[in-house]
Chains A and B, each alone.
Chain A
Amino acid sequence: MLEITQLVKRYGQNEAVLKGLDLKVEGNSVVSIVGASGAGKSTLLRCINRLEEPTSGSITLNGTELVHLKGTALRQARRKIGMVFQGFNLLDRLTVMENVLAGRLGYVNLYQAITRRYPQADIERAFSLMERVGIAHYANKRADQLSGGERQRVGVVRALMQEPDVLLADEPTASLDPRTSEQIMMLLQSLASELSLPVLINIHNVAQAKTYTERIVGLRHGTLIFDGAPADFNHDALDAIYGGIETPDESVTGQPPAAGEHAHGLA
C-alpha cells in the first residue's frame, strides 16, 4: 500500500509545486494522474522514488517511510519501486537483454553487474517477461535499434524485473504514436492485474485514462482536486482540472479537440 500524506515540494523560494498532497493507493489498482503541464504530476511520481527530494510530508510504501531515507536504505527502497519513463531512458548502446537485466542492479553485486553474470533465476524471469510483452527475439539487439513502442516495452520489463511493490509510469505514452500508446496502456493494465501490482500512471490523454484505469486523480497547481472512478469524471471535473489552461489530448474520439466539444467526447 502506498500512502502519501501532506506532501509538499518547493524549488528554492518559488511557489510550491505540490501543496500538501494526500493520496492512498491500495491493492492492484491502476490509478491515472491527470492534469495540465506544470500541475505537478511528474514531481509527484519523482518524489515517490526520491528522484526529487520532497520538501515536507510523508510517503510510505507497505509501512516503510521513504522520505529521509539515505544511501543503502534508499537504494533498497528504490528496488521495490519500478519506474517507466516518458523518454524510455534506455541504455541505448547496450543490448535489450542488458537493459532488462539492469532492473536487477539493486539486487546483484558489482562483479555480477559488470561481467553481466546474472543469476539464472533473473535470466529466466527476463526471458518470460520479454516473451510476455513480445520482445524476447530482440534480446541481443541494441536498444537504439528498436521502434518507440518496443523501446517502451523494454522500459516496462526493466521496471518489472525489479519485482516492484508499485509501478510508476511517468507519461509512458507521450512519446508514442496513438496506436502504440493504446497498446502500452493495455499492457500496463493487464500486467497490473496479472502481477497484482498497483500502478500509478501520469497521463495527458484523458480518454485513455478513462478507458484503461479504474481510478482517476486530477491535479491542478499542485493540489488534488479530483479523485474518483472514470465514470464520475465528467465535464465539470475536466473543466476544473484543465479549464483556462490548455485542452487535453483526446485522440480516442478521432476529432480535433476543439474547445466546447469535451462534453460530446466524454459523454
Chain B
Amino acid sequence: MASPDRSARGEHAPRTWRKPPFIANPLVRYGIIVAVVAYLIWAFGSLPFNWTRIAEGLPRAARIFSGGFPPSFERFGLLLTGFKESFQIAILATLLGVALSIPFAVMAARNIAPMPIYLLGRAIIIVSRSFHPVIVAILFVAAVGFGPLAGILTLTLYSIGFVGKLLAEEIEEIDWGQVEAMRASGAGYLATLFYAVFPQILPRQVGLSMYQLDSNLRASAVVGIVGAGGIGSTLMNAFGRYDYDFAFAILLIIIAVILLSEGISGWVRKKIW
C-alpha cells in the first residue's frame, strides 16, 4: 500500500506545502490586485462628493424619519386614486405590450423572419431593452405631456422589449415539423404562423403576461416619479412637499402591493405550468 517512491524521496528532508495560488502567474496575480486597488482609489478620488452637504445628512435623516413616523393614512383617497391609476396603467400596458410583442417577436425570430426584417426586429428589441423605463418615461413625458398616457407608452415599450425577446427565443425553438406539415398542406405564410407557430408559443405567452403584469405594476410606481402618472407621481408630490408621513404611508402600501402581486403572479404561473 505504501507508495513506491517513498524511500527514494528521503524520510528526513523537511517538506513544505503552500496552497497553490488561485492564479498561477505571480505577475498576473499581483497585477490584478494592484489594478483593483488603483481602480478603487481612482473611482473614489474622481467622484465629486460634497462632504459638507453629506455631513448634514444625519440630522436630516433624523428629521425625515421623525417626520415620517407614524405614517399618515389621512389622505387615503389620494393614495387610492394613485394606486387605481397605477393598476390601470399596468393593465393597459401589459395588454398592449403583450399583443404588440408578438409581431416584434416574429420579426426577431431567426427561423421564420427574412434577414433584413430579423435585424430590424432584433435592433428594436435590443434598443428597447437598453433603456431603463425611467429614461423612456421622461422622453414620453416630454413628447406627450405629464400623466398616465406617458406611463402606458413607456411600459408598453418596456413589455415589448422583455416579452418580445423571450418570445423570439421561444419561436426559434419550436418544433419545426408542425411548420413543415402546414406548408406541405399548402398553407400560406400567415396560415402557417397561426396554425403551426402561435399554438406552440401560446402557453408560454400566457405565463409571461402574468409575469409582465406583475413587473409593470412595480415599474409603474417608478415611472410616476418622472411624471408618468400613477402612485409614483403621488409619492413624488408628497416627497416634494416634505410631506414625509404621507410619503412613508405610500411606501408601505407600495411594498405591500408588490409582495401581494408577486405572490399572486407566482401562484397563477404555477397553476398554468
Query: Interface residues, chain A, CB within 8 Å of chain B?
Result: 95, 97-98, 116, 118, 120, 123-124, 126-127, 131-137, 139-140, 183, 186-187, 190
Contact A126 B3 (CB under 8 A): no
- Asked if B55 is at the interface of the complex by the 8 Å CB criterion, the answer is no
Q: Mask for B1-38, Cβ within 8 A of A = 1, else 0?
A: 11100100100001111111000000000000000000
Interface residues on B, range: 10 to 19
A123 to B9 CA separation, bound complex (whole angstroms)? 15
Known contacts A120-B14, A124-B14, A131 near B3 by CB under 8 Å: yes
A126 cross-chain contacts in B, Cβ below 8 A: 17
B12 closest partner in A (C-beta): A124
A-B contact pairs, 24 of them (CB 8 A): A95-B20, A97-B17, A98-B19, A116-B18, A116-B19, A120-B14, A120-B16, A123-B15, A123-B16, A124-B15, A126-B17, A127-B17, A131-B3, A131-B6, A131-B9, A132-B1, A132-B2, A133-B1, A134-B2, A134-B3, A135-B3, A137-B3, A139-B17, A187-B1
Query: Interface residues, chain B, CB within 8 Å of chain A?
Result: 1-3, 6, 9, 14-20
Contact of B19 among A95, A133, A135, A137 (CB under 8 A): A95
Extra inter-chain contacts (17) besides given A137-B3, A186-B1, CB under 8 Å: A95-B19, A97-B17, A97-B19, A98-B19, A118-B17, A120-B16, A123-B15, A124-B14, A126-B17, A127-B15, A131-B2, A131-B3, A132-B2, A132-B3, A133-B1, A135-B3, A187-B1
B259–chain A nearest beta-carbon distance, Å: 34
A183 to B1 CA separation, bound complex (whole angstroms)? 9
A134 closest partner in B (C-beta): B3
A140 to B20 CA separation, bound complex (whole angstroms)? 7
Contact B3 A136 (CB under 8 A): yes
Contact B1 A190 (CB under 8 A): yes
B149–chain A nearest beta-carbon distance, Å: 54
B17 cross-chain contacts in A, Cβ below 8 A: 97, 118, 123, 126-127, 139
Q: Which of B6, B9, B19 has the most CB of A within 10 A?
A: B19
A95 cross-chain contacts in B, Cβ below 8 A: 19-20
A140 to B14 CA separation, bound complex (whole angstroms)? 18
A257–chain B nearest beta-carbon distance, Å: 29
A91 to B9 CA separation, bound complex (whole angstroms)? 28
B9 cross-chain contacts in A, Cβ below 8 A: 131
Contact B1 A134 (CB under 8 A): yes
B3–chain A nearest beta-carbon distance, Å: 5
B6 cross-chain contacts in A, Cβ below 8 A: 131
A21–chain B nearest beta-carbon distance, Å: 33
A149–chain B nearest beta-carbon distance, Å: 11
Which 6 interchain pairs have the tightest Cβ spacing?
Answer: A116-B19, A134-B3, A131-B3, A123-B17, A127-B15, A140-B20
A204 to B2 CA separation, bound complex (whole angstroms)? 27
A140 cross-chain contacts in B, Cβ below 8 A: 20
A127 closest partner in B (C-beta): B15
B20 cross-chain contacts in A, Cβ below 8 A: 95, 140
B15 cross-chain contacts in A, Cβ below 8 A: 123-124, 127
A51–chain B nearest beta-carbon distance, Å: 28
A183 cross-chain contacts in B, Cβ below 8 A: 1
B4 closest partner in A (C-beta): A134
